[in-house]
Structure 1
């Protein structure tokens, strides 16, 4: 399975499945959820809410509506109760469950953000390390390509560094493919 770190807006990424950084209520508010909601249309939020709430670390699937994808996998890395903060366990579980759900759906491509690292308050570097570990150790059935998307320059640099996906390692991997 190919694993890359890219920079951009998740709502503009083409893939069979996009992952939403969701809270347990599945209400699509700000951050990644807001970007996906604005691009997909209000129906995505309505369908997501009909599937919630879910337990921390669990996932739910909706149609992708106006996005360039077939599915949106809503991965609940943060609680919509208590302090609302993500944990190492919730990020790990949400990532693994999103990968498994993409396989269950027969997806070959998946794009996911830094789950639990925005409004959920988890440290981006540590969160990206956890997500990268889960992707690297995952044994896919149908998934061929996973892209970890970062929005800002700062987030992109942090995610690349935390996952070991620097330009040097990418060049080494390209040379190894020759």
Structure 2
């Protein structure tokens, strides 16, 4: 059950997949999303994203990595924080689980996550971190062949 928190640049992670904290339309955004698009071949990535959009909150979509060290980019949509009483934690858990399941379907041995929804979506960082850790650790109980990195900045 290898799970590690690391500091660094998610776009430079040498993993089979990197997870993008995406918006539902899978458009280039700011924060982690903007960094991933900037590091990849942005026009090709955007073209594939447009074909696969929309992606509802809590779900995930896989694209090629287009020049990143990874093989795949897994785009998952987290919740916008609205105070905590609107099912945000359930959607956040689903976003992590959907991305992990997508990585498993692609036979990824390693995957790097950002702290989903903790930037412009306003999810409180400590709560987002707790939810990420719990969801990833729970998933890995049955998967001893996947390394997961939570890349913090």
- Fold shared, TM-score > 0.5 on shorter chain: yes
Once residues 31 and 5 of structure 1 are traced to their aligned partners in structure 2, the CA distance between those partners, rounded to angstroms, is: 19
Once residues 74 and 110 of structure 1 are traced to their aligned partners in structure 2, the CA distance between those partners, rounded to angstroms, is: 12
Instruction: Please state whether the residue corresponding to 2:78 is helix, strand or coil.
Output: strand
**Is 1:149 matched with 2:151?**
yes
For residues 27-58 of structure 1, give each alpha carbon's deviation from its aligned partner in whole angstroms, at most 9, with x where no partner exists. Answer: 12111110000000211122112211121101
How many residues matched?
146
- Indicate the RMSD between aligned Cα atoms, in angstroms: 1.7
Other-structure match for 2:83: none
Once residues 144 and 17 of structure 2 are traced to their aligned partners in structure 1, the CA distance between those partners, rounded to angstroms, is: 12
Other-structure match for 1:117: 118
- The structure-2 alpha-carbon separation of the partners of 1:86 and 1:68, relative to structure 1 and needing over 3 Å to count, comes to farther
Q: 5+ residue gaps in structure 2?
A: 81-85
4+ aligned runs moved over 3 Å, structure 1: 139-143
* Structure with the largest fraction of helix: 1
Once residues 142 and 70 of structure 1 are traced to their aligned partners in structure 2, the CA distance between those partners, rounded to angstroms, is: 20
Equivalent residues in 2 for 1:95-174, closer than 5 Å: 95-138=96-139, 139-141=141-143, 143-151=145-153
Once residues 18 and 140 of structure 1 are traced to their aligned partners in structure 2, the CA distance between those partners, rounded to angstroms, is: 21
Structure 1 residue 144, shift from structure 2 partner: 2.1
**Is 1:51 matched with 2:52?**
yes
For residues 114-156 of structure 1, give each alpha carbon's deviation from its aligned partner in whole angstroms, at most 9, with x where no partner exists. Answer: 01111111001100100100011114547421000011xxxxx
Question: Please, what TM-score do these two structures have when normalized by structure 2?
Answer: 0.89
Q: Which has the higher contact order (CA 8 A, sep 6+)?
A: 2
Q: 5+ residue gaps in structure 1?
A: 80-84, 152-178
* Contact 1:86-1:121 within 8 A present in 2 as well: no
Once residues 40 and 78 of structure 2 are traced to their aligned partners in structure 1, the CA distance between those partners, rounded to angstroms, is: 21
For residues 67-105 of structure 1, give each alpha carbon's deviation from its aligned partner in whole angstroms, at most 9, with x where no partner exists. Answer: 0010000011136xxxxx992122110001111110011
